[in-house]
């Protein structure tokens, strides 16, 4: 069994996206729990990828292949996880803010967070402040993650936080922001709870924000 989980970890690291679904199915058929596949197979694999990305030994295309490998296995184990009542680390609501169509980085953040054990609700790109507010009410996420790639759309992050304050939902969530033009100083200025420079750091930051309560 351990060997099976180790092979799943390696397949994620190597980005063997066409194999991981079947490997996860074989593991389930072999009596492995969905929880073990997630926590002892997929997550250690993505954790390794995250470290390699942070230190510059893996690059965006490789990380995306690994993330896809992980997501293909997740698709197979999810029904079993629901049946078994497996708890995820937390819920992250993601979106690229209004007026901004860039979603590659945001998608990568979603994949990394999913690899770190979060349930992801992705609202897509060009997401209006009111849509974030409505989604907070619908999904009750732990963390709201906003992405912006344009200097002109960064200020919509502040508008979104303001809309959450006005709707009375600001204190129900932690807010994390990121994207190429975004900085820690900007996050501090607009009252976000956290900033992350890249997708691996975003998964760490989401964990940290939840742990901080
Ligand atoms: Co656009 N674009 N683009 N573009 N584009 C940039 C951002 C730009 C820097 C290019 C340039 O001029 N050098 C420039 C912005 C300049 C500025 O604002 N100062 C720009 C512009 C001007 C535009 C248009 C206005 C161009 C035009 O039409 N005249 C237009 C705007 C459209 C709109 O959004 N309304 C536009 C359009 C597009 C395309 C549609 C063609 C395409 C987007 C496709 C898509 O996303 N589906 C596109 C692309 C691809 C880029 C570049 C080339 C690459 C962006 C990217 O995907 N990077 C970009 C130039 C560049 O960055 N070199 C550029 C890869 C990605 C993995 O990195 O998104 O930074 P990134 O995400 C990182 C981190 O930032 C972080 O983690 C990610 C992974 O490590 N991160 C987070 C991101 N979100 C996070 C959220 C977090 C935490 C971390 O917490 C929630």
pTM of the model: 0.91
> Chain-centre distance of CA 190, in angstroms?
22
Confidence grade of residue 1 (pLDDT, cut at 50, 70, 90): low
CA 60-197-35 angle, to 5 degrees, is: 65
Nearest CA to 43 among 18, 14, 13?
Answer: 13
pLDDT at 85 over 90: no
What's the confidence (pLDDT) of residue 86? 82
DSSP designation for 183? -
As a whole number, the mean pLDDT across the chain is 95
Residue 196 Cβ < 6 Å to ligand 1:
yes
103 Cα: distance to centroid of ligand 1 (angstroms): 8
Helices (DSSP H) in 42-170: which residue ranges?
43-54, 60-84, 104-115, 129-139, 151-166
> Residue 30 — φ and ψ, nearest 5°?
-85, 5
Question: 60 CB less than 6 Å from ligand 1?
Answer: yes
Interval 24-55: pLDDT, tens: 999 999 999 999 999 899 989 999 998 999 89
Q: Quick one: which H or E segment has residue 7?
A: helix 2-14
Beta carbon of 122 within 6 Å of any ligand 1 atom: no
State the Cα–Cα distance between residues 79 and 51, nearest whole angstrom. 29
Cα-to-centroid distance, 147 and ligand 1 (Å):
10
Distance 149 CA to ligand 1 centre (A): 5
CA of 210 to the centre of ligand 1 (A): 28
pLDDT of the residue at 146: 98
Of 139, 149, 148, give the one whose Cα is nearest residue 118: 139
What is the arithmetic mean of pLDDT over 100-113? Answer: 93
Give yes or no for a contact between 127 and 100, defined as CB atoms under 8 angstroms apart: no
CA distance linking residue 18 with residue 24, whole number of Å: 11
Residue in 46, 102, 147 to alter for ligand 1 test, most ligand atoms within 8 A of Cβ: 102
178 lines ligand 1 (CB under 6 A): yes
What is the distance of C-alpha 115 from the center of its chain? 7
Q: Name the 3-class secondary structure at 177.
A: strand
Exposure on the CB side of residue 45, measured as CA atoms within 13 A = 35
- pLDDT tens track for 157-203: 999 999 999 999 999 999 999 999 999 999 999 999 999 999 989 99
Q: Across residues 63-76, what is the average pLDDT?
A: 93
The CB of 199 under 6 Å from ligand 1? The reply is: yes
Separation CA 67–CA 12 (nearest Å): 7
% pLDDT > 70, the chain = 100
CA-based nearest residue to 177, from 200, 156, 153, 193: 193
Mean pLDDT computed over 75-93: 89
């Amino acid at each position: 069994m351990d060997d099976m989980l180790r092979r799943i970890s390696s397949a994620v690291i190597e980005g063997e996206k066409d194999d991981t679904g079947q490997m996860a199915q074989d593991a389930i058929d072999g009596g492995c729990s969905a929880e073990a596949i997630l926590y002892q197979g997929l997550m250690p694999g993505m954790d390794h990828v995250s470290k390699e990305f942070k230190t510059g030994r893996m690059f965006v295309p490789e990380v995306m292949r690994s993330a896809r490998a992980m997501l293909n296995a997740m698709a197979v184990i999810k029904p079993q996880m629901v049946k078994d009542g497996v708890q995820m680390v937390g819920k992250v609501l993601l979106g690229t803010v209004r007026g901004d169509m860039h979603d590659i980085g945001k998608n990568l953040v979603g994949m990394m967070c999913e690899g770190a054990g979060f349930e992801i609700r992705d609202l897509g790109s060009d997401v209006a402040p009111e849509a974030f507010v409505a989604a907070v009410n619908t999904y009750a996420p732990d963390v709201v993650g906003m992405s912006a790639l344009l200097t002109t759309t960064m200020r919509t992050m502040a508008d979104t936080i303001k809309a959450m304050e006005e709707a009375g939902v600001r204190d129900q969530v932690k807010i994390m922001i990121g994207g190429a033009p975004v900085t820690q100083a900007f996050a501090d200025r607009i009252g976000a709870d956290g900033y992350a420079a890249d997708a691996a750091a975003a998964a760490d930051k989401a964990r940290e924000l939840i742990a901080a309560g």
